[in-house]
Structure 1
C-alpha cells in the first residue's frame, strides 16, 4: 500500500483520482482549502502543507485555478515536498500550453518548468479538455438567443474518469518525466459539439460563426490544443451527454 497526497482532491478530476487510488487499496490524503484534516490554501503554504506531505510516497498535483496563483501554489508545494523528501510529484497539464498564448496556459507551462527544475522525481501528463468544460462553455453561450461559436476552431474533449485512471496509474509508478499526451477519441468542430449539446438538452438556437482576433485564437484555430495522433480516449462527447442528460443524447 502506498501513501499518496492528491491536491485539489475534491475537484472534478481530483476526487476521481482519490476514488481510483483508494479502490486500488492505497492510503490517500486529500488536500484542498476546505478538506480536513489537510485544509490548506497552497497559495499561502504553511505548517498544514508540511503535515500533508510528510511521509507520502507520491503527490498528484491536480489543484489549479484559472483565476491565478498556480505558480505560487506549485512553488510552495515543491518546497514542502523537498523538505519532506517526497520521491515523486505527478502533475496534470494541458495539451498546447507551449503553443497557445493564453494566460492560464502560460501559467500551466510555468508550473511544468518549476517541476522539471525542482530536483524532485517528476511525471507530467498533458491532456485535452474535459467533456464537462465544453458543456460549461456551451451552456454559457446558449444563454444568448444566437449561439455564437469561434469560427474555424475544433476541440478534442476527453472523459475525465479516463484521465483520473491514468494519473492513478502514474502515481504508483516511478518518475517518468513527460509522458505521452492523452487526447479524446475525436477531433470535433464546434458546430458539431454544439449540435450534440442542443439535441441533448432539447434547446434550440441558431448557430453563428464568429471570427475572433488575437494570437490565442489563431493558435486554437491552428489546432495547437489538439493531439490527433494521441486520440487514445474511449468515451465520446455523446457518451458524456447521454450520461448527464439522458439517452436522447445518443440520437
Structure 2
C-alpha cells in the first residue's frame, strides 16, 4: 500500500486493523496479508477521505527556529503556522483550521542557523517520499561562504568527501557568484553542507534551502507559510 502511494505504512496498519482495506473487493483485516501484483487494493471511502484531508505546509524558516520539537529555549518552526503568517500569495484555496496542526511533522530538517524551505506534513506518503532511505528527491541550497577554494576543493565538494566514516554521495556544487555556492544534494546528513565546506577550508556564513524536488521556495517571504497546492508534487 505504501509502495502504491495509497498511504504510509503506519496508516496502512491502522486502516487494515479497522477493516478499511479491500483486496479484489474483499475486506482484509489481518496485518501482513500477502497481495499479488495482479490484485487490486482499494481504500474504503472513510480512509480515502481521511487521506485527502491531510495537509502539507511549506514554511520559509527564519534563523533561530528549530525544525521539530522545541529545544533549548528555541521555538519550533510550527509555531509560525498562524493565520496571520499565511502568505497572501497562497494558491491552494485551503482555509486554515486548527486540526491542520494535529500530527503535523517535519519531513526533513533544516538546522537552526539556516533559512529557507521547510516541509511539515500530516501525510505519511509525502514524509516517506522526502525522508525515506530510497528517496529520489534532491534538495537545493544557496550557501554564502568565506575563505578560498581552489579547483581541487570544488571537485571534492562535488564528489570525494566523507563524513562520519562514510563516503558522501555525488553532489552538484558550483559558484553562483563570487562568494556564494549552489549545492544540490541527494542526502541529508546532520549539518552536511557546513561540514563539507569546513573540509575544504571554507566557512559557511549563510545557508538557504531554495528547492525540494520540484517544489520551489519562490517568493514565499521569510517567516511566512503556505499550503502545498493541489497538483503540486515534490517528485
The TM-score with structure 2 as length reference comes to 0.30
Q: Which structure has more RCO (C-alpha within 8 Å, separation ≥ 6)?
A: 2
Quick check: which one's helix share is greater? 1
Quick check: which one's strand share is greater? 2
The TM-score with structure 1 as length reference comes to 0.28
Larger radius of gyration: 2
